[in-house]
């Protein structure tokens, strides 16, 4: 919203309301976001008209998110959507910003939208994640970026499958998601294999492989609830490419099977065991879910 808007003009967020009755009181927050912001009704209109699965999900789950959601548009986004937390400069409260690359969101992205909203619900429930601690004063930008990415990947190895497991009851196509994740992960894993034909000795590289393996197994189990005959070629490929690391990750999967991962406390135990197993305690700490 870079052009001046009159108080009696229609709000640029496409809510259909006059600006003075809509976003005029949120000018500072919108400037903080730095992207065009649209009303939720406008963003989700196609899904709420045409997707029975999303309508059912939205009706039963949306009320669980009490924190304000800002829907922001960025066509440069390199993923379908992502969420961040941002402090409102006026209220000093954290609000969610869901960044999307298409407005309104199209029918084909109903699952992605439900998935993103379910992540926000996990955040509301107090689920933990890992965050990188740069306590070695390492100034290497690539290293810092890599460690932040690893923390995110380990976190997602638990939270993404949990989100998918919760979406089973809404009959979304989890197999399509499983296949998409597998295709996205394989180039990274293949690059590791090319660099370390006998598997990486560094704990960070092994933790990356382990997180991919954990997520693959848990996602496959969720997909099997809807498609019992879903193939597990991705898991087989991981075992074949990294037999040592996947084998040493089996005890984490056994812990998940025994204790579960569906509550914040259970997830904390799993994360703690992962970082201890791969000697990453000095690099990562548990915090609230990084959305």
Q: What is the DSSP string of 101-136?
A: SSSSPPGGGHHHHHHHHHHHHHHHTT-EEEEE--TT
Q: Which residue ranges in the chain fall short of pLDDT 50?
A: 1-2
Residue 2 vs residues 6, 9, 30: alpha-carbon distances, Å: 13, 15, 10
Predicted pLDDT of residue 229: 66
Predicted pLDDT of residue 3: 62
- How many residues comprise the chain? 291
Tens digits of per-residue pLDDT, 143-201? 888 999 999 999 999 999 999 999 999 999 888 888 888 888 888 889 988 988 888 88
Predicted pLDDT of residue 49: 96
Predicted pLDDT of residue 210: 95
Predicted pLDDT of residue 1: 43
Tens digits of per-residue pLDDT, 109-134? 999 999 999 999 999 999 998 999 87
Residue 25 vs residues 3, 6, 91: alpha-carbon distances, Å: 16, 13, 11
- Number of other residues whose CB lies within 10 A of the CB of residue 49: 11
Predicted pLDDT of residue 289: 54
Closest by Cα among 103, 105, 104, 98 to 120: 98
What's the whole-model pTM score?
Answer: 0.90
């Amino acid at each position: 919203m870079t052009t001046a808007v009159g108080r009696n003009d229609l709000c640029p967020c496409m809510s259909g309301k006059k600006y003075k009755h809509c976003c005029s009181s949120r000018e500072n927050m919108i400037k903080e976001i730095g992207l065009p912001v649209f009303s939720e009704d406008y963003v989700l209109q196609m899904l709420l008209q045409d997707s029975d699965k999303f309508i059912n999900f939205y009706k039963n789950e949306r009320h669980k998110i009490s924190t304000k959601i800002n829907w922001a548009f960025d066509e440069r986004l390199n993923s379908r959507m992502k969420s961040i937390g941002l402090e409102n400069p006026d209220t000093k409260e954290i609000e969610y910003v869901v960044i999307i690359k298409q407005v309104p969101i199209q029918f084909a992205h109903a699952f992605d939208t439900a998935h993103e909203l379910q992540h926000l619900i996990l955040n509301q429930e107090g689920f933990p994640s890992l965050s990188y601690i740069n306590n070695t004063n390492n100034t290497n930008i690539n290293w810092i970026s890599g460690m932040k990415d690893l923390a995110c990947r380990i976190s997602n190895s638990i939270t993404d499958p949990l989100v998918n497991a919760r979406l089973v009851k809404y009959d979304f196509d989890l197999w399509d998601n499983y296949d998409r994740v597998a295709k996205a992960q394989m180039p990274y894993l293949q690059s590791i294999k090319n660099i370390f034909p006998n598997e990486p000795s560094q704990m960070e590289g092994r933790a990356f492989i382990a997180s991919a393996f954990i997520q693959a197994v848990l996602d496959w189990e969720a997909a099997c609830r809807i498609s019992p005959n879903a193939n597990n070629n991705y898991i087989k490929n991981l075992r074949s490419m990294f037999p040592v690391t996947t084998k040493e990750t089996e005890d984490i999967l056994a812990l998940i099977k025994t204790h579960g991962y569906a509550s914040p406390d259970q997830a904390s135990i799993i994360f703690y065991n992962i970082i201890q197993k791969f000697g990453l305690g000095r690099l990562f700490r548990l915090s609230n879910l990084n959305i």
